[in-house]
Amino acid sequence: MGRVIAGRYLLLNRLGTGGMGHVWLAHDQHLACEVALKEIVFRNPAEAAQERAARVARARAEARHAAGLRGHPHVVTVHDVLEHEGLPWIVMEYVGGALDLRDLVTRRGTLAPAECARIGLAVLDALTAGHERGIMHRDVKPANILLAPDRSGAPHARVLLTDYGISVQPDSSETRWTLTSVLVGTAGYLAPERAQGGPPTAAADLFSLGCTLYYGVEGRGPFDRDTELAALTAVVLEEPRPPLRAGALEPLLAAMLTKNPVHRITAEDAEAALSAIVTPQSHPHTRVDLGSQPPWAQVETEASALPPPGPGFGPPPHEPQAGRVQAPQAGQVQAPQTGQVHRPQTGPAGRRHHRRSNVLQSVTAGLLGLAIALGGVWYAMGQRADGGTGSGGGAKPYGETIGLAKPLKDGDCVIADWSGERFEGTPRLKVEDCLKGQPDGQVMAVAGAGSADEARANGPARCEERTEETRKKLADVRGYVVLPTDAGFQAAGRRSACLLLGANGGVYGPLGQHRRPGLTFIDTANMQKQDCLDERSDRDARLASCDAPHDQRVLGFTRLDPDTTLEEAKQQSLEACAADVPPIQYGYDPARYETAAWASRSAWKTGTHFVVCTVKRQDGGTMESDEP
């Protein structure tokens, strides 16, 4: 920091580090603007001269290839390549507020299929532009895709392909700086033909893009393994893991990940398929007149008679909890509270809340998909050596702060009393009735260990693995591991407890596998993707078996703008779900199916503003296990 490169660029701070060196934020003192500088770093002073020359030449080639795509909207612009103290520096566009796809999924969770398709379409456009110039990227992967705000400020709306550091023009006469015994690329994202030593091709880049899109919707690569050798072996010999959350992307991913490049989908066909997912053809029957939306239905359940939970947990006990938003019958609008039917007034259809674009809403849904998978952070609860004593004289399993005298069991629901901000510090826990109370979370699994030290070392990772499937199906939860203390290890049953807690409020009922068909939802917090619902009324949704006839199926979630009021949400939820989680993405014929939406007051009290998006039949009939 503080160095001036080539008498012009003042290094401000380091933005990141890659295989070839560092990327810096710098101030261009001539033009008074910020740029990014890539510095070539040799960590070993004794590095062979041939390798040094190769890396320098590779940096120059990167600058040349990226500069050839200068002006492309989805390629990071290269302004110049210069030499300073005998080494090249690449001067590039500084992309403020950018996050690469790998970090976005790590921090925020998996993306919705439509949002991933939007990103894929942009990257494919960049790759195609390079392929037309004979430039193969050779290292398409999540870390090389930047997502940044656009001019309107929409987060992650701008998509940029970066790092042409190992790109190559196969038909050119330029010197090849790749040793024949070394594979260039990233294990798990290389095409099979490249892993076996074949030449770089456009089809190979397309395979890598397929792996990248798979990562976006699944949270891991299709060939991720414990070692690079195992990943390369899987790329060549094994089929990709069947995706669980790909939705409409699933057949396209299969076509992109075809082993034989001759049979792999072409870039032109992939572009058409991605475009169809990003902007599906909607059917007029699925459109909703927001001006004639009924007000938010409110539910009256037996929960209104329950005593309130501890301070700060969930809504007041007598407040209505959840309600469904649905399209009204033609020519009718439901009145607030009473359920009476009135003829609509003539005139404007009502104020529509401004939405920047479907792209913004898709990004927001992807970011939520961020909140859906934020359980990757596991805080160690409990203390190493200060387990107190319980009423019976034995050590408390998790220490005095947690306060429990008995160990937690799989399925236990809990109230978590934080002394300050949620997920800061250690909460005091109390076991709560899952059905009669309003719990903050539930034990989803337990993880055994040979010692308290082993529990501390391995418990978080084991809990993350065992709760991953359920975490990614819920809209707003975080993982938390309750670790035994040294003194309480035996009292805890030699096990850690794997919790899922509401990220911003309670979960108001059992989660995941602990729910049973017939469960009445008093809040949307414990609705999860692929749930099948029986709709007893506009105010009553119950969990149904998907193997039996049911009324609706949960497809996903979307989040409304932060400044949206609950009253405005009444008019927007259906449109938001239809735009961000359209049933057509999941194989539902728009001529037979339509969007429905459920929401709860708690989502507005906590500021999360998420809506549960479902699909139902237009004719009001029940759905079967084999639909769509």
Token pair of 448 as six digits:
């055994």
Q: Which residues of 444-474 are buried (b: 16+ CB within 10 A; e: fewer)?
A: bbbbebeebeebbeebbebbbebbbebbbbb
Token pair of 344 as six digits:
């609509």
Token pair of 312 as six digits:
């700060």
Give the C-alpha separation, 110 to 105, whole Å: 5
Nearest to 600 by CA among 518, 525, 548, 514: 525
Nearest to 554 by CA among 473, 451, 471, 480: 473
The burial of 286, by beta-carbon neighbours within 10 Å (0-12 exposed, 13-18 middle, 19 or more buried), is given as buried
Give the C-alpha separation, 24 to 137, whole Å: 23
Nearest to 92 by CA among 169, 174, 168, 22: 22
Q: Is the peptide bond before 628 cis (omega within 30 degrees of 0)?
A: yes
Give the C-alpha separation, 274 to 282, whole Å: 16
The burial of 180, by beta-carbon neighbours within 10 Å (0-12 exposed, 13-18 middle, 19 or more buried), is given as exposed
577 close to 114: Cβ distance less than 8 angstroms: no
Nearest to 177 by CA among 284, 61, 98: 61
123 close to 140: Cβ distance less than 8 angstroms: yes
Helix axes 267-278, 113-132, angle to 10 degrees: 150
Annotated catalytic residue, options 139, 531, 538, 580? 139
Give the C-alpha separation, 112 to 103, whole Å: 16
Please check if 529 is assigned to a binding site: no
Token pair of 347 as six digits:
């005139």
- What SS3 class is residue 364? helix
- What SS3 class is residue 102? helix
Give the C-alpha separation, 161 to 19, whole Å: 17
Give the C-alpha separation, 599 to 603, whole Å: 7
Task: Judge whether 269 counts as a catalytic residue.
Answer: no
From residue 395, give the alpha-carbon distance in Å to each of 406, 417, 492.
Answer: 10, 21, 9
β-bridge mates for residue 178, sequence order: none
Q: What is the 3-state secondary structure (H, E, C) of 270-321?
A: HHHHHHHHHCCCCCHHHCCCHHHCCCCCCCCCHHHHCCCCCCCCCCCCCCCC
Give the C-alpha separation, 610 to 130, whole Å: 39
Just list the catalytic residues: 139
Residues placed in the known binding site: 38
Residues marked as binding for ATP? 38
